[in-house]
């Protein structure tokens, strides 16, 4: 995916969110924060420990999550039927896709995140910065484009995300959908699902 990422200071905590955001449930908030804590403390980001964190205000659609699951299911299920990450079959996939046809845009709020240092950035502001080449002298940031959790049942949810590094030409470090599983009160990444596009 050729998604570009960048950050600018003037679009940080002082940005006024003008659109209404649907409140997250307790479970959705737990999934998001357990994911961010685990992902950003993984070995992949060891060299980015001094980077700030910015999340795109407009969440990725959950349609992306179910489409990525379906793509991987169609490609791998026959050869990996015994795996425990197939939490949905074809009929269930189609029901979810139908339900999400009129999915509304979700907007993140700073209060959704345990990490108080996280900034929010509007996607249109991001595009404007890229178009005008203002990213050249901006501070180092990890920019996260994140979906609202698509909850399958009490122990399983799908989550899509792109994470980009402003020091690498703003191309994503990672672009994927994950299965989040709950075990002993914690949500953790159990499997990755791809959508057929690659960085």
Confidence of residue 172 (pLDDT cuts 50, 70, 90): confident
**Residue 12 belongs to a domain:** no
**Residue 167 belongs to a domain:** yes
**Residue 1 belongs to a domain:** no
- 92-145, pLDDT tens digit by residue? 999 999 999 999 999 999 999 999 999 999 988 877 777 776 665 667 889 999
**Residue 6 belongs to a domain:** no
Q: How far apart are the C-alpha atoms of 167 and 157, rounded to whole Å?
A: 32
Q: What is the mean pLDDT of the chain?
A: 86
pTM of the entire predicted model: 0.85
H-helix segments, the chain: 26-40, 62-76, 90-99, 123-131
Q: How many domains does the chain have?
A: 1
**Residue 19 belongs to a domain:** no
**Residue 168 belongs to a domain:** yes
**Structural domain range at position 31:** 26-193
CA 115 and chain centroid, separation: 16
Q: What is the three-class DSSP state of 149?
A: coil
Q: How far apart are the C-alpha atoms of 24 and 49, rounded to whole Å?
A: 28
Q: How far apart are the C-alpha atoms of 178 and 192, rounded to whole Å?
A: 4
């Amino acid at each position: 995916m050729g998604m570009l990422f960048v950050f600018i200071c003037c679009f940080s905590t002082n940005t006024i969110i003008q659109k209404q955001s649907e409140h997250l449930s307790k479970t959705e908030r737990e999934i998001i924060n357990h994911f961010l804590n685990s992902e950003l403390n993984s070995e992949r980001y060891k060299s980015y420990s001094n980077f700030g964190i910015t999340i795109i205000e407009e969440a990725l659609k959950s349609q992306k999550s179910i489409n990525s699951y379906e793509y991987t299911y169609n490609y791998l299920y026959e050869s990996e039927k015994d795996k425990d990450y197939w939490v949905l079959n074809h009929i269930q996939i189609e029901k979810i896709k139908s339900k999400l046809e009129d999915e509304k845009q979700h907007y993140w709020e700073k209060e959704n995140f345990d990490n108080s240092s996280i900034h929010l950035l509007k996607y249109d502001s991001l595009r404007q910065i890229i178009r005008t080449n203002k990213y050249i002298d901006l501070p180092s940031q990890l920019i996260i484009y994140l979906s609202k959790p698509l909850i399958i049942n009490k122990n399983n949810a799908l989550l899509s995300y792109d994470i980009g590094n402003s020091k690498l030409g703003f191309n994503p470090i990672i672009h994927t959908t994950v299965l989040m599983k709950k075990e002993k009160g914690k949500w953790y990444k159990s499997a990755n699902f791809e959508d057929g596009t690659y960085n």
